[in-house]
Amino acid sequence: MNSNSSRRQFLQVGSAAAGGLMAAKTILLDPRPLGAAQKAASGKKLRFAIIGIGMEGSGVLGTAITLPNVECVGAADLYDGRHTLAREITGNQSLPVTRRYQELLDRKDIDCILAAVPDHWHKRVVVDSCNAGKDIYCEKPMSHTASEGFEMVDAAKKNSRIVQIGAQRVSSALCAKARELYHEGAIGEVENVELTLGRNDPTGAWEYPPPPDLSPQNLDWDTWLNDAPKIPFNPERFARWRCWKEYGTGVGGDLMVHLISGMQVTLGWNEPPRSASALGGIFRWKDGRNMPDIHVVLFDYHGVPVYVRLGLGTESPESARYMGPKGILDTGEFDLRHSRQKGVDTSPSYYTSSYPQKMRDEYVKQWHEEHDVPPGQEPIGSDTVYRGNDWDDLRPHLFNFFQAVRTRKPVVEDAVFGNHAAVACHMANESYFRKKTVYWDQATRSIVT
Ligand SMILES: NC(=O)c1ccc[n+]([C@@H]2O[C@H](COP(=O)([O-])OP(=O)(O)OC[C@H]3O[C@@H](n4cnc5c(N)ncnc54)[C@H](O)[C@@H]3O)[C@@H](O)[C@H]2O)c1
């Protein structure tokens, strides 16, 4: 395929769908995540610094430096091993590194910040960056509590800063295609949504191996705890912080936030849910965690039910299904299936088996007279599958951020958007812990029962 070819390329028609009964045509979305857009990165070279070079930050940093016209000029982490890692990733043995991110915020030669710190640090890092005049890309979920999110929105607004939250799929070609199809009326008005995801392995359940050399000598443990209760140095808490509500936001904030963010983009929704009712528990990973490993939630989004199933006990595909009277949009990491439905009877109603013979025969005859299409004009039921670049690819989303920093045009996932997605996660957690339905109260900007 030639690099100048159009964004969407028709590759293949007529591959069989599951079961072989339904024909599906397959369309390949441009596999290059950025395509020609990369050329737009002209103008000022951006100098960025990164805060948090752990599991995600190492990927964010490694990806960011592959983008055009940007340069990493500093890195902060509370664990010294990650200073070494930042230098390894950038290939710059003299990259300035520090335990104190405030030093990076004070530097006038730094244009913007990328942050991949645990959830309980997001608010402070974002508010401090905005107050220091720095634009910031901060990992999802935006906040650790609902109230924090509003402080972050206010800080971005007050300082006119670009804030991009890092649920990267919102910048993917797959989400863009789903949004386009939905707004063209592909399924009609959405009537319900199903968001699902399941894992079944220790790493998927966050039982990460702490770095073997980790110690209070090479990690500033007290600072790492931030506002969480003070406890003695604990390597498991450092590596597996997602398991505890004191630092993380559970499967809701870790995983569901991606599905909710994708839903917001696809359907054009930008609001918190009205209510959330959750059930769940710790079924499998009884390792001392306090966050559930099974979490099922029913949200009310202005009357539309959104059902969510998240589990760490059984592997199942990650999928967001949007259903309406004209069919289904089923989105996954690499593809999007559009299944069309007519919503009409295709044969005489089976209810007429309850009619006496003569009445049934007359009904069936009349039905065929009124509904049969001429031979050769029968509609062929057909699905369309769009295949695209991995919706978890960080490049398009980071690129969108850097472009916004250059142009001052809005990002795709600003603080208001990120806050709405995060509030849904907090409502799911509140409902689980309070064991009752919780509601969003816009007047007090808080979760109530
Ligand atoms: N977008 C995605 O697909 C994705 C994937 C994984 C994680 N994440 C998000 O990325 C964030 C980080 O997750 P992770 O798995 O990389 O965690 P991690 O524990 O592996 O890394 C976090 C790093 O931040 C450092 N840190 C903590 N507080 C700091 C501070 N005040 N100053 C400087 N450094 C500090 C820690 O020392 C650690 O090295 C989380 O919010 C997580 O939800 C996003």
User: pLDDT digits over 132-165, tens only?
Assistant: 999 999 999 999 999 999 999 999 999 999 999 9
Please indicate whether residue 82, judged by its CB atom, sits closer than 6 Å to ligand 1: yes
Ligand 1 contacts CB of residue 116 (under 6 A):
yes
Assign 321 to helix, strand or coil: strand
* Contact present, 269 and 438 (Cβ < 8 Å): no
Nearest CA to ligand 1 atom 25: 52
In a domain, 254, yes or no: no
CA nearest to 141, candidates 178, 171, 116 = 116
Give the residue ranges of the chain where pLDDT is below 50: 1-21
Whether residue 121 has its Cβ less than 6 Å from ligand 1: yes
Q: What is the Cα–Cα distance from 405 to 163, expressed in whole angstroms?
A: 9
Does some domain include residue 215?
A: no
Q: Is the minimum distance from the CB of 117 to ligand 1 under 6 angstroms?
A: yes
- What per-residue confidence (pLDDT) applies to 378? 74
Q: Using CA positions, which residue lies closest to atom 5 of ligand 1?
A: 56
Residue 59's domain spans which residues? Answer: 36-169
193 vs 321: CA distance, rounded Å: 6
Q: Kindly report, residue by residue over 218-235, the tens digit of the pLDDT.
A: 999 999 999 999 999 999
CA of 159 to the centre of ligand 1 (A): 25
Examine residue 60 and state whether it is found in any structural domain, yes or no. yes
Bridge-based pairing of strands 23-29 and 382-387 is: parallel
Query: How high is the pLDDT of residue 382?
Result: 82
pTM: 0.93
Residue 4's pLDDT is 34
**pLDDT score at 15:** 34
Structural domain contains residue 311: no
On whether residue 295 sits in a domain, the answer given is no
Asked if residue 44 belongs to a domain, the reply is: yes
CATH number assigned to the domain comprising residue 121: 3.40.50.720
Say what the pLDDT of residue 20 is: 38
**Exposure string over 176-198, b if 16+ CB within 10 A, otherwise e:** bbbbebbeeebbeebeebbbbbb
Would you say the CB of residue 422 lies under 6 angstroms from ligand 1? no
- 16 within some domain: no
Determine the distance from the C-alpha atom of residue 291 to the mean position of all C-alpha atoms in its chain, rounded to a whole number: 20
119 in ligand 1 pocket by Cβ < 6 Å? Answer: yes
Q: Which residues pair with 166 in a beta bridge?
A: 139
- Pocket flag, ligand 1, residue 118 (CB < 6 Å): yes
Q: Is 74 in the pocket of ligand 1 (CB under 6 A)?
A: no
Number of domains in the chain: 1
Inside any domain, residue 95 = yes
pLDDT at 78: 99
Nearest-atom index, ligand 1, CA of 117: 24
Q: What is the CA radius of gyration of the chain?
A: 25
Ligand 1 atom showing the smallest separation from residue 167 Cα: 1
**HSE-CB of 177 using CA atoms within 13 angstroms:** 26
